[in-house]
Amino acid sequence: MTISTKNPASETDSGAEAARLTPRTVLVGVPASPGFALGKVFPIINREVSVVEETIPESRVAAEEQLFLKAVSKTANEIAKIKEISESRTGLQDSLIFSTHLMILKDPGLVNGILDQIKKEHKNACWAVHVVLGGYIERFEKIDSPAMRDKATDLRDLYNRLISAMENSGPVVEELAVGEGVVLVAHEFVPSFLMSLKPGQVSALAMDTGGRTSHVAILARSLQIPAVSGLRNIAALVKPDDTILVDGSGGMVIVNPNDDDVRKFHERQEVFERQRRELFTMRRLEPMTRDGKYITLHANIELPSEAEKVTDFGATGIGLYRSEFLFFRKDVPSQEEQEYAYRQILETMDSCPVTIRTLDAGGDKLVSGISVVNEANPFMGWRSIRVCLDREDVFCTQLRAMLLANTKGNLRILLPMISGLNELRRAKAFINKCRDQLVSEGHEIGKVKVGIMIEVPAAVMLVDLLAKEVDFFSIGTNDLIQFTLAVDRTNELITEMFQPHHPAVLSMIYQTVMAAHRQGIPVAVCGEMSSDPLSVLLLVGLGVDELSMTPWSVMATKKIIRSINFEDVRETALTVLQMDDAESVNAFLTKKYAQTISDLGISSLLGNVGEKQN
Amino acid sequence: MIVKSLTVTNKLGVHARPAGMIVDITAPAQSDVSIIFEGSKANAKSILNVMMLAIPMGSEVKFEVDGADEEEVVQKLEQLFHDNFNEEPC
């Protein structure tokens, strides 16, 4: 028995067929990666794989077993190599895809299933892989979850690689010579294929399968290649000489477009490119309102390596480095490990300020070796600064590491969950103690600023007193909203009640700003509110001095700030403070500013904002 | 044998990465580990089996751990679920 797996596109790939062009066809799919491209179709024909079923004699069993195991290690090597390239090109997050691939290759169900086919059923290795892995692919395709169904593509990638390895022929991609700037069209793309493309070779991707969450879509966005997925039958429809127009922002392609299509396409492409260029040129412009109020824009980071990219996005500092990400591992990191990580950030940013928040463990972020697991109310439990004040060893190790890493004098230490003066004074005493110790050990210690998170309503009630004893405030909007409104944001029954624009929340922010400014210290907002366009207007109007957000939101936020008048948003903020409820505030803001914001032409970047992790 | 029920509280459910993190714990363990979700029982050392359960956010899953290091395995799994697989919670 012979099974052929091939791409539908290959059936239309004969010379005679190619001469006749496909009539103009509009296909609507899923916008997988934004951007526009117009180019010649280059169909990717998945290499035809023939799998023959054989029943083998006992004498060949060992050889077939070896053939399979060698194919596994060859495939694992290939993937490890692609993983390495992927890490250097798109960063660690996207290369996690390939860690999953490597783990699947070690899956006991898969490997033993295939070995059983060979040893017990006396089947040849190729057939064993076809039956067992093919069975998994079929089952994944039937799963009632789009994200999991997308995994079938990854399995097919492995299938092709294993079979190719056993036939001792190279992977598909090595056989391809791709021209400059063509549009690749395929039934589906496999992630490893995408990673092997060289920059500039390809102007866009169009595929039959896949959704927004597929690995291919994620990779295409990282590589900034426009892509439309879920086009159902594009691969079967197009021929090699067809022209294709790809609108990755809208999720549409037109095969052999007419003049009118091309004219409209160019208009949209121009707008898109202009928006992107404009935002990019804005990187170096000041984030200043039209009437001259300067708003500091900083970036939030989770990994020390992200610090390098921050200034490219136009941020002038780091507003929040969540140090607990260093602690999400088997044991508490040593002072040296922490110092290395902090130094990487502080030295990369040079003279720009870097705010490092001390360990904020607990609540929903449990840290091995420190947190306790069973608390009835973890968000109001033994967490954050409370843990640090009780665990002097952990806290002082972290403080010493921070102080030692601060060779440039740009460190700002941020203390989370402060609810009163006693906690603040105890924490500051620890900082002073560590500094004195280090000085007496002969270290030179740079300038340090110490600030607190305003996220517990009690801190707002005491805000005038707190302002006298710190260098800055940073408002953590998520917890402040949660505690002010008494709404557990992990409880689905009351998600509607988690309202950032609730007048009570806005009033908390306003009181904090007023108290800070009376003492001449700045107020930052580092929560999710600082990347929502309407919230940005409101926060600026309330008098917030600094906004810190995910790096890619900085440029769009800068554009918003440069388009507004401080006096106007100030009046708006004071007006909405008097309103009855969040609905009225939102209705007012939308009526007054929605048009202005949509006119800014930052839609492509707002898409990113909407995707932020919650 | 220890039977432990845990709730999936990260936003995306047990997708590929959390499945990998579960297998990171179960695969090297001496104990046999099964995962049970909505009546389907699977070998928790197999990433494919764990992914195929397509466990969404908010679900309760049961682990059956049997062997010399069962307590350690259960403790690690518990920690992993409480940490929301190091992802943001729902």
Cα–Cα dist B20/A611, whole Å: 23
Query: CA gyration radius for chain A?
Result: 28
Instruction: Give the residue extent of every domain in chain A.
Output: 1-259, 278-294+480-614, 296-454
Whether the domain at A1-259 and the domain at A278-294+480-614 fall into the same CATH topology: no
Write down the mean pLDDT value for chain A: 83
Element (H, E) at A84: helix A58-90
- For residue A247, the distance in angstroms to the closest alpha carbon of chain B comes to 28
**Pairing verdict, β A472-475 and A523-525:** parallel
Neighbour tally for A319: CB within 10 Å: 28
pLDDT band with cut points at 50, 70 and 90 for residue A234: confident
B38-88 pLDDT, tens digit per residue, is 988 999 999 999 999 989 888 999 999 999 999 999 999 999 999 888 877
A600-614 pLDDT, tens digit per residue, is 877 544 433 333 322
User: How much of chain A, in percent, has pLDDT values that exceed 70?
Assistant: 84
Burial (CB count within 10 angstroms: exposed 0-12, middle 13-18, buried 19+), residue A73: exposed
Q: Does domain A278-294+480-614 have CATH number 3.20.20.60?
A: yes
Cα–Cα dist B24/B26, whole Å: 6
pLDDT at A328: 67
Chain B residues with beta carbon closer than 8 angstroms to that of A362: none
pLDDT band with cut points at 50, 70 and 90 for residue A322: confident
Residue A103 to residue B20, Cβ atoms within 8 A? yes
pLDDT at A314: 87
Residue with tokens 């390596």: A305
Residue with tokens 């995408």: A194
Interface test with A, best of B83, B84, B87, B88 (most A CBs within 10 A): B83
Nearest CB among B43, B78, B84 relative to A109 is that of B43
**What architecture is domain A296-454?**
Alpha-Beta Barrel (3.20)
Kindly report the CATH number that applies to the domain delimited by A1-259.
Answer: 1.10.274.10
- Of residues A276, A214, A248, the one with CA closest to residue A29: A248
Q: For residue A155, what is the nearest residue in chain B, using CA coordinates?
A: B48
pLDDT band with cut points at 50, 70 and 90 for residue A202: confident
SS3 A502: coil
Chain A residues with beta carbon closer than 8 angstroms to that of B46: 107-110
pLDDT at A11: 39
Residue A148 to residue B51, Cβ atoms within 8 A? yes
Looking at domain B2-86, its CATH class is alpha beta
Residue B82 to residue A366, Cβ atoms within 8 A? yes
pLDDT band with cut points at 50, 70 and 90 for residue A173: very low
Residues B9, B15, B20, B49: which is the catalytic one?
A: B15
Element (H, E) at A197: none
pLDDT band with cut points at 50, 70 and 90 for residue A48: low
- For residue B47, the distance in angstroms to the closest alpha carbon of chain A comes to 6
What value does the mean pLDDT take over residues A516-539? 90
A138-172 pLDDT, tens digit per residue, is 988 888 777 777 788 888 888 888 887 787 543 34
Nearest CB among A110, A145, A614 relative to B48 is that of A110
Residue A104 to residue B47, Cβ atoms within 8 A? yes
pLDDT at A608: 32
DSSP structural state of residue A294? B
pLDDT band with cut points at 50, 70 and 90 for residue A18: very low
pLDDT at A17: 44
Q: What are A's interface residues with B at a Cβ cutoff of 8 A?
A: 96-97, 99-100, 103-104, 106-110, 136, 139-140, 143-145, 147-148, 151, 154, 328, 364-366, 368, 373, 490, 492, 613-614
CB A404 within 8 A of CB A446: no
Interface test with B, best of A106, A137, A138, A148 (most B CBs within 10 A): A148
**What single string gives the DSSP state of each residue in A344-408?**
HHHHHSTTS-EEEE----BTTB--TTT--S--SSGGGSS-THHHHHH-HHHHHHHHHHHHHH-SS
Residue A614 to residue B88, Cβ atoms within 8 A? yes
**What single string gives the DSSP state of each residue in A412-470?**
EEEE-S--SHHHHHHHHHHHHHHHHHHHHTT-----EEEEEEE-SHHHHHTHHHHHTT-
pLDDT at A191: 66
- For residue B12, the distance in angstroms to the closest alpha carbon of chain A comes to 9
Interface test with B, best of A93, A100, A327, A479 (most B CBs within 10 A): A100
Chains A–B, number of C-beta pairs less than 8 Å apart: 72
A50-105 pLDDT, tens digit per residue, is 678 888 898 899 999 999 999 899 888 878 877 776 676 666 666 677 888 899 99
Cα–Cα dist A599/A601, whole Å: 5
Nearest CB among A99, A104, A328 relative to B48 is that of A104
CA distances from A452 to A116, A385, A529 (A): 61, 10, 18
pLDDT at A3: 45
B82 is catalytic: no
Residue A613 to residue B54, Cβ atoms within 8 A? no
CB A37 within 8 A of CB A204: yes
Comparing A61 with A363, which gets the higher pLDDT?
A61
Instruction: Give the residue extent of every domain in chain B.
Output: 2-86
CA distances from A287 to A114, A524, A534, A607 (A): 60, 15, 16, 21
pLDDT at A5: 44
ipTM, two decimals: 0.87
Tokens at residue A196, please?
A: 């092997």
pLDDT at A16: 44
